[in-house]
C-alpha cells in the first residue's frame, strides 16, 4: 500500500472583496450579503479580506477589539460566527482586531470558522507594515498592532491550509515553512495599498503559488475607504502553476474558482521542486 496522503476531493472557494470603513455595522452587513451570495454560487470555503470588520481611516481611531472566545464571544465575533452558520460554509475572516496583553496595541488576527460557526484556528499577523511610500500612503502598523509569533497551518474541510495576512506576502520563507507543515492552500487576505498593489500584488501572489505549488486564496480590500486609505482590490485565486483562476472586478463583490487537488498532485509530481530543496536552505 502507498503511504502517500489521499488526494482531497475538489473544493469550490470564493474570495470576497470589500470596501470596509470604520462603520462596523455596515461592514458586517456587507460581509453577510457577499458571503451568502458566494455560498449561493457554490462556495464551500469563503475568504474575507484583511480589516474586514473594521478598517482604520482616521489616525487615532480606536479599534473595536474583542477577545476571541467562542464560548463568550463579543458582538462582532458573534455576528461572524452567525454568518458562517447561516451560510453553512467554512469562513476565513481575513483579520479581526483581537485584544492583546500589550498596552495600546491589538493583534491583527485571522480567524477560521467552520460551517457550524466554531472557531477552529487563529493566526496573528507576523510582519507589520511600517513604510513610507514616496507619493503614496504611509503607515506604521507597529504603533497600534502587536506582532504575532506563531506560524499556523490548519485543516479546512480536511485540506491543510496555511494562514497569512497581507504584508506577510513579501516574506517567502513563511510560505516554505507552511508547505513543510503540509499546506496545500495558502490564504493571503489583504488591504494592499493602491500604490504598491498595481505593480506587486498579482506578481507576488503568483510567485508564492509557483514556488510552493499551492493554491493561493487572496481576498482584498478595494477602493476608497475615507481619509487617505485607498486599496488595490483584484481579489484572486491562483492555482499551483501560478495561473489566476479568477479575479474580482473593482469594488465590493466576490469571485469563485474550483480547486482541483488531483491537478495539484500532478503538478507536484511533474515538477518536484519541493523535494529538491537543499537541506541547508
Question: Between the CA atoms of 257, 161, 148 and 87, what dihedral angle is there, to the nearest 10 degrees?
Answer: 60
Burial (CB < 10 A; 0-12, 13-18, 19+), residue 269, is exposed
Do 13 and 260 contact (CB within 8 A), yes or no? Answer: no
Indicate the SS3 state at residue 33: helix
The 10 Å Cβ neighbour count of residue 71 is: 5
Distance, in Å, from the CA atom of 66 to the CA atom of 73, rounded to the nearest integer, reads 8
* Contact (Cβ atoms closer than 8 angstroms) between residue 232 and residue 198: yes
Q: Are 254 and 41 in contact (CB under 8 A)?
A: yes
Q: Which one, of 71, 67, 78, lies nearest residue 28 by Cα?
A: 78
Alpha helices per DSSP H over the chain: 24-40, 75-87, 172-180, 194-212, 261-270
Burial class (CB in 10 A: 0-12, 13-18, 19+), 77: buried
Contact, 124 vs 168, CB < 8 A? Answer: no
Question: What would you report as the CA-atom Rg of the chain, rounded to the nearest whole angstrom?
Answer: 18
Q: Residues, the chain, total?
A: 281
Residues with catalytic function: 50, 125, 166
Amino acid at each position: 500500500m502507498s503511504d502517500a496522503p489521499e488526494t482531497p476531493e475538489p473544493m469550490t472557494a470564493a474570495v470576497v472583496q470589500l470596501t470596509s470603513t470604520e462603520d462596523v455595522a455596515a461592514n458586517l452587513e456587507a460581509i453577510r450579503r457577499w458571503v451568502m451570495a458566494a455560498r449561493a454560487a457554490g462556495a464551500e470555503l469563503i475568504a474575507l479580506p484583511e480589516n474586514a470588520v473594521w478598517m482604520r481611516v482616521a489616525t487615532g481611531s480606536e479599534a473595536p477589539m474583542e477577545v476571541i472566545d467562542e464560548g463568550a464571544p463579543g458582538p462582532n465575533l458573534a455576528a461572524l460566527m452567525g454568518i458562517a452558520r447561516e451560510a453553512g460554509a467554512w469562513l476565513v475572516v481575513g483579520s479581526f482586531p483581537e485584544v492583546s496583553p500589550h498596552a495600546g496595541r491589538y493583534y491583527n488576527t485571522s480567524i477560521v470558522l467552520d460551517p457550524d460557526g466554531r472557531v477552529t484556528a487563529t493566526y496573528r499577523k507576523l510582519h507589520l507594515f511600517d513604510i513610507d511610500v514616496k507619493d503614496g500612503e504611509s503607515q506604521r502598523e507597529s504603533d497600534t498592532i502587536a506582532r504575532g509569533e506563531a506560524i499556523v497551518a490548519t485543516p479546512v474541510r480536511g485540506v491543510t491550509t496555511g494562514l497569512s495576512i497581507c504584508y506577510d506576502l513579501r516574506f517567502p520563507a513563511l510560505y516554505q515553512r507552511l508547505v513543510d507543515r503540509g499546506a496545500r492552500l495558502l490564504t493571503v487576505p489583504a488591504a494592499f495599498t493602491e500604490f504598491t498593489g498595481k505593480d506587486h500584488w498579482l506578481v507576488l501572489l503568483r510567485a508564492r503559488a509557483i514556488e510552493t505549488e499551492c493554491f493561493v486564496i487572496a481576498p482584498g480590500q478595494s477602493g476608497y475607504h475615507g481619509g487617505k486609505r485607498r486599496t488595490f482590490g483584484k481579489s484572486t485565486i491562483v492555482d499551483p502553476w501560478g495561473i489566476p483562476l479568477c479575479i474580482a472586478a473593482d469594488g465590493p463583490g466576490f469571485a469563485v474558482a474550483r480547486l482541483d487537488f488531483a491537478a495539484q498532485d500532478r503538478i507536484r509530481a511533474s515538477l518536484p521542486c519541493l523535494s529538491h530543496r537543499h537541506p541547508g536552505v
